[in-house]
Structure 1
Amino acid sequence: MHMVSLLSEPWMPVRCRDGSRMWIAPDRLSDPDLLAFDADRPDFNGALAQFAVGLLQSSTPMNSETAWGKWFAEPPPANVLSEWFAPLAPAFELDAEGARFMQDFSLTAEEGVSNEIGTLLIETPGENALKNNSDHFIKRGRISAMCPHCAATALLTLQINAPAGGVGNRTGLRGGGPLTTLVVSMSIDGPTRSLWHDLWLNVRDRRGFLGLCGDAGKSALYFRFPWMNDMSAIQKTGGETTPVQVHPDQVFWAMPRRIRLDFDTVCSGECDVCGRASKQLIGQYIAKNYGFNYKGAWLHPFSPYYETKEEWLPLHPQPGGFGYRHWLGWVFGQSTGKKKQRRASVVEHALAHRRGELRLWAFGYDMDNMKPRCWYEATMPLYGLADCDEDAQQWVESQVEIWLAGADLAAFYLRSAVKDAWFGADARGDFSAIDAAFWNVTESAFYMQLQEVIDLTRQGLEGDMLQVRQRWHQVLMKTVASLFDEVFVGAGQVERQKPQRVALAYQQLNRNMRGPKMRQALHLPSSVTDKPRSSKKVTQMAAI
């Protein structure tokens, strides 16, 4: 039987510079012709990126920014990466007799329950959905066989994102469906940028990483890769696993689920995920509840965190997707008002030590306990923010904070006006479509002025920020008026509306957008000359 080593097997799908697709082993990650991971599922691409960064961070001997810059400018050849990875080889066997990648060390078929291989995928209907015949949108039985490559990626993806799944089925180290933010190049289609650069931007010096979380003195392989020994070597029955019990590397390799792939009943055929032929199609796995129970002050380098009364917790995607309203918190963090957030440490380190135009790549599942509602993914520009010193970055942060305060207020005023026009002030329900439209329409203007301000900052110029804020005020006023008039209220059938209520709601929206609260939020001088102006459409409607 062919043995699968994830350090030598070509199991990672990638897109090449010429547009073709191929599968590589990790020692080819520095190939300049590779642009991105190219799996058949977006959550697989996110997991592969985390695997690659985690592998590089866990193996690199790089211990200075000078060494980091050397490998960024001249990526290490395959033989150098092989040397880095070699000491970790026992931890990356997928189908060995004993320790297996991301699989329980000692779980037997007699101890666990057999599951169809398709249930490794997070969106696969669970037992209740099958019993209640509620698998309307994602049907049962779609995936009945996976090649070892896709099974390894599915297993990795589940362990990273592990949602709540019944009694004793643990969530991931960052909870179920965490938000991940990585720093990537602004553009990778040029001859000097590749997949390697996107990955290496998120790797830091070994000494600095080891100081983030965990006990670097626990150097035994199973403290770094928990599948290398029985669970009891780290976590006693009914106990917990905290950072001080393990090596810092385990943040990348946490194993909340007890799973063991069944390689005894493989068959030949085509993989239901990637469509490639395989002689080792896996149809099932053994699982048992009560895996590693991660608790305590974990600090995952890929996650932004938010503060509760007791502790800092990793952020998770929420309904509504990603947009520029998240830019401030994910890039700088937030320390004012009720929202206290801390950016991911890879972002903090990149803005302090990297150079050039970068982007933020954010992705993750929006989970409702064990039910995935949506997979969200977006890239957000950082422009040349990394070229600015700390004071200049703080100045940019202060400007963006003002813009977002005004935008938040404008979204609230628009939502309130539409509710008043439709139903009156006491209406209840889901009005998220109003907010989504507002943030979507204003996004391009936000990024245009963000680039303008960062460019000025890089040149050592301040510019007229009052003029920028006044221009942003105009964007907000134009947007809310347009959405009210042309999308949500004015576009409706007149005979089904109450024109007087619509007119009053619109007039109040105008007053609010020009009023003292908005001007205070945007740090604009008070004005006594601005008077609300009714739109022609609303005036005509009021006259009916």
Structure 2
Amino acid sequence: MNLLNPANRWLRLKRRDGSVSPGSVYGVADPEVVDVLAPRADFRGALYQLLIGLLQTAAPPGNLNDWLGYWNEAPSAAELEIWLAPLKPAFELIGDTAFMQDRDPLQDGNVKSTAELLIDTGSDSNLFFNKLADWQGLCAGCAAQALFALQINAPGGGVGHRTSLRGGGPLTTLVLPKDADASLWRKLWLNVLPLDGEGADWRAEPPLSAKLPWLAATRVSDKSGVETLPEDVHPAQAYWSMPRRIRLDVDDVAAGVCEVCGETHDTLYRQYRTRNYGVNYAGPWQHPLTPYLFDAKDPSKPPLSAKGARAAGGYRHWLSLTLGENDNEKVARVARDFNRIGGKADRLKLRGDARLWCFGYQMDNMKAEAWRDATLPLFRLQSGDERHFGEAARQLLEVARQSSLMLGEQVKKARNMDKKEPAVEQSFWQRSEALFYQAVEGLAKAPQLDAAAQAQVFAAWLPPLRRLVSDLFDYWVLCAPIEEMDMPKVVAARADLRRGLWWSKHHKAMGELIARYQGESDEAIA
């Protein structure tokens, strides 16, 4: 099967009327198609990255005006086919240059079940499947998705089994229109980078194998091998990184029901061959779809990719993922490209109508613990003052974090527990989310973000936040059996919590700012 053959309808495309039907990659240009679906959450995230990677590799816009032209009018399926024609030979699932597979047939490699291409089963966490003895295999479409999802997310797999270019379990962040029924084309195109905003290396035209590593002999990384640095290949290889040496076994196939999609196929792939010491991506790689953390004490150290677990953090990570909370954090390049002055948000007047889709595996070394998936709102700043907006949002988060910690600690004391109950702090983050985004929206809509404007937003936010913390304390303490309550401890803990809500560092600073500009004492604000 060739993934770029128009006759191969291996994708499931959702249309605006709600219907779902098979389609080829060229269906993404249809304005009536609004989404691509998959039988697994990680496959859906992988498909979005695959389609974005295709567009970025085959037809990157030269500048923002070029980009805007195709935002306003998507290419036809025929035009898209012309764009992708040079890549077509590289997207055969079987053959000498098989998609996401080693050029070497790996005849002497270890033989494994294709079940282990799935990150959750391959890591022994077994979240989705528990009857591997009855494993029938994967159809061609699901095998392609499994290969791609594993290669771009690969966790550690033992000696010489390399992690992905972004390390194990990376977080992916994509900018999407707020409207869920926006066309799939626009959802993808928002994450394609104009080349004039990138370095000269992006505009270079080396052999295609510098972008698609399975077209060349593997850069092995054993004792006599090499590391692969950004300067060794084209930067677009970030979309197609291939750390694992894998070849599907085409001799062990059978008809049956695919274990993932549940559909009957004439050919199911049951096994694959593998060998260690594949491509070892080293150095300062930065994937365009992932945020990174930098070492403030040693700028020469390669950046660390954000991990999938951060998608489970709710709004506590909102600022770091959308704008960057400090100088040591860099949001994903696609988010920077969207947010920058004169960038896509400004040209489209879209920032208030967009969101950031964050997803990835939460890993414990080699073990997949959970799949995390969340969307965060993006806001268009009426003031255009990103610096003061970020500082004010950071103050909101500092108060929220302090509130969460105090709530957990005082509930622990009141209930005489040995350690804090994680559900207590989690309840705060869930219940306070709407309040936080209301406050951030208020900052975004302010014509200017001087101290007086910030104080006005803080004054509307802080009192209900304090009441919420007190209410949650009462809930978590009173839910304990009455015979287990030590009322003097309960009373003392509640008093300590109230003191903290007014006099702890960040609460006090915010309260004083409000009082200075609102003309009321902090106690009166409560």
The alignment status of 1:379 with 2:375, answered yes or no, reads yes
Give the Cα separation in 2 of the matches to 1:13 and 1:475: 45
Aligned to 1:102: 100
Aligned to 1:542: none
Alpha-carbon displacement from aligned partner over 1:383-425 (angstroms, at most 9, x marks no partner): 434xx57x4233322221111111111111111111211237x
Match of residue 130, structure 2, among 116, 135, 139: 139
Which deviates more from structure 2 when the two are superposed, residues 508-517 or residues 307-316?
Answer: 307-316
Aligned to 1:370: 366
CA apart distance, 1:361: 0.5
- Contact 1:422/1:497 (CA < 8 Å) preserved in 2? yes
Distance 1:415 1:439, change over 3 A: same
- Contact 1:125/1:139 (CA < 8 Å) preserved in 2? no
Distance 1:186 1:136, change over 3 A: closer
Give the Cα separation in 1 of the matches to 2:471 and 2:33: 44
Aligned to 1:499: 487
Which deviates more from structure 2 when the two are superposed, residues 225-234 or residues 292-301?
Answer: 225-234
Distance 1:235 1:242, change over 3 A: farther
CA apart distance, 1:324: 1.0
- Contact 2:111/2:271 (CA < 8 Å) preserved in 1? yes
Alpha-carbon displacement from aligned partner over 1:121-147 (angstroms, at most 9, x marks no partner): 111155xx5xxxx96985241643111
Which deviates more from structure 2 when the two are superposed, residues 513-522 or residues 115-124?
Answer: 513-522
Structure 2 unaligned regions, length at least 5 = none
Aligned to 1:539: none
Give the Cα separation in 2 of the matches to 1:125 and 1:224: 27
One-letter amino acid matched to 1:252: Y
Give the Cα separation in 1 of the matches to 2:42 and 2:483: 47
Q: Secondary structure, in 3 states, of the residue corresponding to 1:219?
A: coil
Aligned to 1:541: none
- Contact 1:57/1:206 (CA < 8 Å) preserved in 2? no
CA apart distance, 1:23: 2.4
The alignment status of 1:434 with 2:424, answered yes or no, reads yes
Determine what percentage of the aligned residue pairs are the same residue. Answer: 36
The alignment status of 1:314 with 2:302, answered yes or no, reads no
Distance 1:408 1:521, change over 3 A: farther
Aligned to 2:218: 231
Give the Cα separation in 1 of the matches to 2:26 and 2:310: 38
The alignment status of 1:118 with 2:96, answered yes or no, reads no
More helix by share: 2
One-letter amino acid matched to 2:210: F
The alignment status of 1:508 with 2:496, answered yes or no, reads yes
Match of residue 329, structure 1, among 320, 327, 338: 320
One-letter amino acid matched to 1:197: R
- Contact 2:439/2:457 (CA < 8 Å) preserved in 1? yes
Alpha-carbon displacement from aligned partner over 1:253-299 (angstroms, at most 9, x marks no partner): 00011001122222222212112221121111111111100100001
The alignment status of 1:346 with 2:334, answered yes or no, reads yes
- Contact 2:514/2:522 (CA < 8 Å) preserved in 1? no
Q: How does 1:76-91 map to 2 (within 5 A)?
A: 76-91=75-90
Q: Secondary structure, in 3 states, of the residue corresponding to 2:119?
A: coil
The alignment status of 1:483 with 2:472, answered yes or no, reads yes
CA apart distance, 1:511: 0.5
Give the Cα separation in 2 of the matches to 1:149 and 1:136: 21
Distance 1:157 1:137, change over 3 A: closer
Which deviates more from structure 2 when the two are superposed, residues 270-279 or residues 136-145?
Answer: 136-145
Aligned to 2:249: 262
Which deviates more from structure 2 when the two are superposed, residues 266-275 or residues 495-504?
Answer: 266-275
Aligned to 1:414: 407
Distance 1:489 1:320, change over 3 A: farther
One-letter amino acid matched to 2:286: L
Aligned to 2:239: 252
Tell me how many residue pairs correspond in the alignment: 507
Aligned to 2:439: 449
Give the Cα separation in 1 of the matches to 2:248 and 2:288: 29
Q: What is the root-mean-square deviation in Å for CA atoms of aligned residues?
A: 2.6
Q: Secondary structure, in 3 states, of the residue corresponding to 1:363?
A: strand
- Contact 1:301/1:344 (CA < 8 Å) preserved in 2? yes
Distance 1:93 1:207, change over 3 A: farther
Match of residue 208, structure 2, among 209, 221, 224: 221
- Contact 1:186/1:383 (CA < 8 Å) preserved in 2? no
- Contact 1:124/1:140 (CA < 8 Å) preserved in 2? no
CA apart distance, 1:222: 1.4
The alignment status of 1:181 with 2:178, answered yes or no, reads no
Distance 1:279 1:210, change over 3 A: farther
Which deviates more from structure 2 when the two are superposed, residues 446-455 or residues 368-377?
Answer: 446-455
Distance 1:493 1:329, change over 3 A: same
Aligned to 1:282: 269
Query: What is the TM-score when the length of structure 2 is the normalising length?
Result: 0.90
Give the Cα separation in 1 of the matches to 2:489 and 2:363: 39
CA apart distance, 1:233: 8.7
The alignment status of 1:171 with 2:163, answered yes or no, reads yes
The alignment status of 1:150 with 2:142, answered yes or no, reads yes
Which deviates more from structure 2 when the two are superposed, residues 508-517 or residues 521-530?
Answer: 521-530
- Contact 1:144/1:272 (CA < 8 Å) preserved in 2? yes
Aligned to 1:400: 393
Give the Cα separation in 1 of the matches to 2:371 and 2:62: 36
Give the Cα separation in 2 of the matches to 1:256 and 1:267: 28
- Contact 2:355/2:376 (CA < 8 Å) preserved in 1? yes
CA apart distance, 1:464: 3.7
Which deviates more from structure 2 when the two are superposed, residues 75-84 or residues 466-475?
Answer: 466-475
Alpha-carbon displacement from aligned partner over 1:356-382 (angstroms, at most 9, x marks no partner): 111101000100011111111111111
- Contact 1:456/1:462 (CA < 8 Å) preserved in 2? no
Q: Secondary structure, in 3 states, of the residue corresponding to 2:309?
A: coil
CA apart distance, 1:216: 5.4
Give the Cα separation in 2 of the matches to 1:382 and 1:532: 29
Distance 1:253 1:269, change over 3 A: same
CA apart distance, 1:502: 1.2
- Contact 1:218/1:246 (CA < 8 Å) preserved in 2? no
